[in-house]
Structure 1
């Protein structure tokens, strides 16, 4: 089957499908680009994950998830540039879980090996507070399904003052936004436990950081690196991006470091018609 097929259509069919588009029977110069369905490409989780984690993971991995997790395991900074709802959150979510298990923060049965985590932490950055809260729920759901006692907390301007110290001292995974991080870096001594153990930095929706906003984010990430150098943290970056023209150049400009791009999407896709007129 060809990757796509173009066929003409007529104004009557367009008017029926899009009654508010201002189309009429005389809208004859229109075509439909048909993009066929794509089946999922998967690999067994046990071929990528250690048995402790693979036995808990109830799904097969999409091929792009497997490729990204292998690169992260090799301490390569990674940008996953695939379609919406292709499981990018599971890439950094599972990698964070692996790091906590490897560091002995979690026992093999998923319970906490020690109440205070000084072995491995993670920072997740999102462009909006709404997405931050959504992804907290997604990570909580993932770790609950895996049976792992991982403490995921949001820390931003809406976080009550009374809760902030306990989050800095107890959280395994902190979710915030780039602008808030810029403020908190000024008082990095309050985050010494967290930064000294930082293993993963996830930057979600990384394609949104362009232009002035992208330059701002890039400099904040460089500030973060200076703070981490002071405290001894040396994290691996996991970027999650929509499909863009040159994810390698964009990601490397954002981080100021080489990035491995994973953009061969293994997730399934239904057939779709793109109407042109």
Structure 2
């Protein structure tokens, strides 16, 4: 209890310190998560470090989104442990947790007619009453510029297209300025240009010292932009490491139950993943 009391007092008066390069921002050890009667994750070990983009890939139902939600502290563990900022995830209160990690879910329904700019500003709520609240305007402006959302800042969020809403939701996450970004399929509703934009933003966030975990279905994006890739299948991490080491033809063919060819890009050498067709 003394840890909780001291952390609560410290978070009311002090900004969260910036992470050191290579610092473990979140970790899972022997993580097991159940949804209803089904075990969705079973024995997962994973570290997320400052300064990296970690992509979670795998077939539908592999447990990617569940792992992201567990790392965020939004889903309780049935076994094992999740730690954020060096402490058990349950040790942090909601506002303390929001200052350490920010989450982009697959969908962000919003019935009220807030403008896009107002939605992005919601990301600054965890810093209300702290010295960092003085950065609100700058954080919102920089986040909207980074996601190319400035042009519709005054439009109602529900009136935006799917791709525009996705970029506003990402801008809200960026404006929060937490050390750990957890993004669930942020490219799903986007065209080619904005898919590349989102992954470039992820790389920029990692270069600034943050840790980024991103769930992706596009293996090409993971190969091109991630520092590490974790391949999930049947609730377990079957491989984790640099893209060339992990995204191999035998492993992907087995995991996706479809023949896959992997060839190096002729210019960059990054793996190109191609499904074999009859």
TM-score (norm 2): 0.41
Structure exhibiting the larger radius of gyration computed from Cα positions: 1
